[in-house]
Structure 1
Amino acid sequence: MRRHWSVVVVMAVAGLLTACGGGMVRRVSEPAASIQQLTVNADGSWSVLLRLQNYSSIPMRFDTVQLDIEVGGHSAGKLLASPQLSIGPESADAIAVPFTPTSEGRIVLADALAGRRSLAYTLEGKVEAVPEEGKTRSFDIDTRNTLSPVPGLDGVLR
């Protein structure tokens, strides 16, 4: 009889815990931005495929991106975009952003491509995003990563 009651108590506690944990947790987390691909165009401008990562548990609409790009330790300019892009919870998407680099940025990138070397880059700035049914929030971005030349694709780094 005693064993029967302990089983009933355990089942009741498990049922209560299951009932309490049924709701979705609405968590807004810092998003991330990184360069997925950088392509040098014939005129010297760049096409930057910018990856936006939503780590939140709810959808976010990314409205504006203002990022300073540094390549190989040298300023390449400011990347500005207004993607107006909705990204689902814990998902990512990429946007193509035309970019006119500084002459110093062009030289550093051209040198890395000519030597088939990897190139460190930094993105620093802000991304404004709107959580589902919320108001615009500004998030600081500070990304440090590396791009490498893509074999067989001249002028392309990933």
Structure 2
Amino acid sequence: MRIPRFAAIATVALLLAGCGSGGPVRRISEPAASIQQLTVRADGRWEVEVRLNNFSSVPMRFTASNIQVAFDNGAAATLQAQPQIAIGPESADVFTTTVSPLAEGRARIATALADGRSLNYTLGGTVDAGPEDGKPRSYKIKLSSALTPVPGLPGVLR
């Protein structure tokens, strides 16, 4: 009679111990950045929509970016901004910044738009982010992708 009673008590104790896991795990992962859209303005500057991806399991506040843009391995512009946006767990959002490109970057964009062809780009630099209840830290950004002219929208690449 004692063994079944002991087994029942042990089973209940194990079940109760499993219930006290302390809640969801807070996982902080490196974010990612990419160019969602680039628009050449009439004054020659670029309006750049930057997509930030939060791969963490908690909301993150993105406070600053310092990202160098290169086209076909030639320097094009630097995206320096303070987006000050909060992005939910495992989500993404976009911020817009206006930049003055280098002459080489301006020429590469003009050629791609005139020829209607894609343009390879790389991003390198840092994005500062942190949990909403914590301090931000700098994360390295590195990405290679391409932008393509958008038919019907002059001066726009996605």
Same fold (TM > 0.5): yes
Alignment of 1:82-93 (within 5 A): 82-93=82-93
Q: Classify 1:33/1:17 alpha carbon distance in 2 versus 1 (closer, same or farther; 3 Å).
A: farther
Give, in angstroms, the shift of residue 126 of structure 1. Answer: 0.5
The one-letter code of the counterpart of 2:128 is E
Q: What is the root-mean-square deviation in Å for CA atoms of aligned residues?
A: 2.1
SS in 2 for 1:109: helix
Q: Classify 1:70/1:25 alpha carbon distance in 2 versus 1 (closer, same or farther; 3 Å).
A: same
Alignment of 1:75-114 (within 5 A): 75-114=75-114
Alignment of 1:4-153 (within 5 A): 15=15, 19=19, 23-153=23-153
Is the 8 Å Cα contact of residues 28 and 57 (structure 2) preserved in structure 1? yes
Q: Classify 1:143/1:15 alpha carbon distance in 2 versus 1 (closer, same or farther; 3 Å).
A: same
Inter-partner Cα distance in structure 1 for 2:43 and 2:149: 19
Q: Classify 1:151/1:12 alpha carbon distance in 2 versus 1 (closer, same or farther; 3 Å).
A: farther
The one-letter code of the counterpart of 1:67 is I
Is the 8 Å Cα contact of residues 86 and 132 (structure 2) preserved in structure 1? no
Gaps of 5+ in 1: 1-7
SS in 1 for 2:77: strand
Runs of 4+ with deviation above 4 angstroms: 11-18
Give, in angstroms, the shift of residue 12 of structure 1. Answer: 6.8
Give deviations 1:67-112, integer Å, cap 9, x for gaps.
Answer: 0110122101211000111111011100110011001100011101
Q: Classify 1:94/1:14 alpha carbon distance in 2 versus 1 (closer, same or farther; 3 Å).
A: farther
Q: Classify 1:99/1:14 alpha carbon distance in 2 versus 1 (closer, same or farther; 3 Å).
A: farther
SS in 2 for 1:76: strand
The one-letter code of the counterpart of 2:93 is D
The one-letter code of the counterpart of 1:100 is S
Q: Report sequence identity in percent.
A: 52
Inter-partner Cα distance in structure 1 for 2:21 and 2:61: 27
Inter-partner Cα distance in structure 2 for 1:96 and 1:125: 17
Give, in angstroms, the shift of residue 130 of structure 1. Answer: 1.7
Gaps of 5+ in 2: 1-7
Give deviations 1:6-39, integer Å, cap 9, x for gaps.
Answer: xx9xx97995696366721100000000000000
- The number of residue pairs the alignment matches comes to 151
Inter-partner Cα distance in structure 2 for 1:17 and 1:92: 36
